[in-house]
Amino acid sequence: MNNTITRKYFPLFQKLSSSPVYLYPFLIVLYFVLHECNANFGLIPVPFSVWFAFCYLFVTLVIFLLASWYFNKATKSLLFTALIVIILLFFGAMHDFVKKLSVPDLFKQYRFWLPFLSAIVIGSIIFLRKSAKEFLSLNRYLFITFGVLCIWELLHLGFNVVSKENKNNILFADTSFDKKLHPAYDSTQSSPSIYFIILDAFTSSSCLKKEFNYDNAGLDSFLTGKGFYIVTNSKSNYPVTPYSIASFLNFSYLKDEVTAQEMTARDRIRGGTSVGANRLVPYLERKGYNIFNYSIFNLNGHPVQGADYFYSLKQRMLSGQTLLGRIQRDIFWNVRTFIGQSPKEYHKQMVKHSNDYIYDKLNGLKAAAGYPSTKPKFVYCHLMLPHGPYIFHRDGTFVQDSEQKPADEKKAYLDQLIFARQLLKSAINTIFKKDTLNKIIVVAGDHGFRDYGTSDKIPQTFENLHAIYFYDKNYQSLHDSLTPVNTFRIVLNQYFQEHLVPLRDTSIFVYDPF
């Protein structure tokens, strides 16, 4: 009776259940990729997702062919292939789940997991080799299960696309209290060019004096001599780069969900996405500005010129869930840290890092300053200095291989900061030399030095360099405790006739484990 009903009303199911199916290990790969892309919708680069899927589909095919040669039975080969693929792809999820359980620490460590998984694989080989069963029912069940899961994830993906679910990645708090901005282009108005220069982790002069016993008067005198206003008691709004820059460029705080939380990789990428969705850049575009992006963030419509600092992190949102990704993160990284790198490899990485995230960005800024145009410019330059890795002595020469792991991190930071000062002076001199029109220059650290190693120094991690140049030297709206969230509010009010209400200057702690 049941078979008659099945044949009559569910012919597709009957067809599937009466014939061997060889696809479901490949469906496991597709399900994993679709599921992770839906769970992190809008955060994982599509080209990388496609490349990742093809790689693991190829790996699955190789495993299946080897299993077919060994077992000489398609159904057994399918089961073994499915087991290996599940271990390879879902290890991260399994490991994370166990780490949340109240079990002995041994069961959370790789010294348990790697032998345990090896035993499962060896045991399955022995069992399948000796078993006389066909395993048809189990294969059909797995095919139907992963087929349904793939269909569900495809529907979920379609819903995410239609509903523009990626908007939830933007972390800005509600700004509806602000008066509506008026970005209409006015050809009769001569707008100033704006230079936004970030030196990553550059602390304040007062913190340098107090914590590093270093007098930063040389830089302060240089800036004041050029006409800058130095915000002497400035503090960043957040102690992590993506959140700090997002609040800077959107001139607003972020949602409460980020407050006093430990930042995850997903949070970091959402912060970067929020930077890209800021209000300032589209506002200036509609004012007729040319946009030059020499930062480490993609701005909507203006991708990073040069290396994308966060691209590998976006990739790890997917690859980091796999067994190989976790081994690379948790084991290989520690091994490399312990044994160090060869001098040749270390030097090669130093040169690449300095070119990608320092010199290329700096040269882009200098070129933009001399860019011939009748339109005003917005130039965002983000230098990964004095932020680690600490690869420079104070004179700009590379540290030696023997100094890969500085014994005194504060000294290494200070040396790199002193070199960063020289690059900053060079950049500012170039701007004044090449751009003789009206301009605004904002120079800041996105946060201060963070590696004090003690929680009582948390307030110092917010102390940052913050200096502002207005071409008319009208600094009446500025004050010595100004925080970045209000900087562009003042700029827009003073030079674009907006009426944005100043926000309360405050600093919000977020723990960054990276």
Q: Could you give the CA distance from residue 252 to residue 256 in angstroms, rounded to a whole number? A: 12
Residue 482 structure tokens:
């100004």
The per-residue pLDDT for 261 is: 72
Q: What is the 3-state composition of the chain as percent helix, strand, coil, each rounded to the nearest 5?
A: 55, 10, 35
* pLDDT average, residue stretch 22-37: 94
pLDDT at residue 304, rounded to an integer: 87
Q: What is the pLDDT of residue 263?
A: 80
Render pLDDT for 382-400 as a digit per residue (tens, 0 to 9): 999 999 899 899 999 988 7
Which pLDDT tens digit goes with each residue over 414-465?
A: 999 999 999 999 999 999 999 999 999 999 999 999 998 888 999 999 999 9
According to the model, what pLDDT value does residue 352 have?
81
Q: Are 383 and 361 in contact (CB under 8 A)?
A: yes
Q: Which whole number is the average pLDDT over 110-118?
A: 94
Cβ(450)–Cβ(250) below 8 Å: no
Give me the mean pLDDT over the 234-242 stretch. Answer: 95
User: Cβ neighbours of residue 478 under 8 Å, at least 6 residues apart?
Assistant: 229, 231, 468, 490
Average pLDDT score, the chain: 89
Residue type, 3: N
Its pTM stands at 0.86
Q: pLDDT tens digits for 189-231?
A: 689 999 999 999 999 999 999 999 999 999 999 999 999 999 9
Per-residue confidence (pLDDT) for residue 349, from 0 to 100: 77
The pLDDT of residue 175: 76
pLDDT of amino acid 359: 92
Q: CB-based contacts of 260: which residues, under 8 Å, 6+ apart?
A: 508, 509, 510, 511
Question: What is the mean pLDDT of the segment spanning 270-288?
Answer: 93
Identity at 456, one-letter amino acid code: D
Question: What DSSP string runs through 199-266?
Answer: ETT---HHHHHHHH----HHHHHHHHHTTPEE-TT-B-S-SSHHHHHHHHHHTSPBPGGGTT-BPPHH
Report percent pLDDT > 90 for the chain.
Answer: 69
On the question of pLDDT at 256 being above 60, the answer is yes
- Under the banding of pLDDT at 50, 70 and 90, the label for residue 180 is confident
How many angstroms separate the CA atoms of 122 and 145, rounded? 25
57-93 pLDDT, tens digit each? 999 999 999 999 999 888 999 999 999 999 999 999 9
- 141 pLDDT tier (thresholds 50, 70, 90): very high
Determine the Cα–Cα distance for residues 45 and 60; give it in Å rounded to an integer.
22
CA 400/CA 299 separation, integer angstroms: 36
Determine the CATH number of domain 192-297+341-496.
Answer: 3.40.720.10
Q: Kind and range of the H or E element at 377?
A: strand 377-383
Predicted pLDDT of residue 430 = 97
pLDDT tens for 348-373 read 777 887 888 899 999 999 999 999 88
Query: Domains of the chain: which residue ranges?
Result: 2-167, 192-297+341-496
Pair 239, 509: CB distance under 8 Å: yes
Q: Is the peptide bond before 372 cis (omega within 30 degrees of 0)?
A: no
